[in-house]
Structure formats: structure tokens, C-alpha cells
Amino acid sequence: MAFGTKTALTAAALGATAYSRSLGRTVSEHRDVPAESGTTPLDQTPPHVAQAQRRLSTLQWVVPALTGAVVLVSAYAGEQQRASEQRRGLRKRLVG
């Protein structure tokens, strides 16, 4: 279970990173448009650039969250490999 979860989270993090790069390219190609910051559009910001900025604003939290989830799943899986956990699992199988 942990392996599949870790793989899915890693794929999602890579996908979000790639999408973020694509959006970043859209924003950086339009340097002459008005904007408050790289992820905060103004009313005068063209709609397609403003949409990319808003999505980047969300992704700046999604990517670290997915990466953190990979770390948590890895830590959980590592704990399952501890000798005490293996003995407990073996006892459950033998006893019934």
C-alpha cells in the first residue's frame, strides 16, 4: 500500500511541478503586463496571464504539500520495516 501511495504522490508532485513551470513560462513571457507580483494579478493584467498567476498562487502550496506527503509516507513505510513490527506481523500470521 505505501509503495503505491508513494508512487502516486510522487507522480502528482512531478506533474504539479511541470504544470507550474508551464504557467511560470506564460507569466514570464509577458513581462510588460501590469501585475502586483508574480502570482498576484491586477485588474489591468490580461486575463490569460491573470489566470496563470492565480493558478501559480495555488500551486506554490500544492507542490510542497505533495512533497511533504511523500516524506510522511516514506517515514511510515520505514517504520513498517522495523524489527518489532515484523515480529508482530509474524506473530499474527502464526497465531491466526
| pLDDT over threshold 90, residue 96 | no
Please choose, from the candidates 17, 30, 31, 11, the residue with its C-alpha nearest in 3D space to the C-alpha of residue 73: 11
pLDDT tens track for 14-63: 999 999 999 999 998 887 887 787 778 888 888 999 999 999 999 999 99
- pLDDT bucket at 1, cuts 50 / 70 / 90: low
Helix, strand, coil share of the chain (percent; to 5):
80, 5, 15
What are the domain boundaries of the chain? 2-95
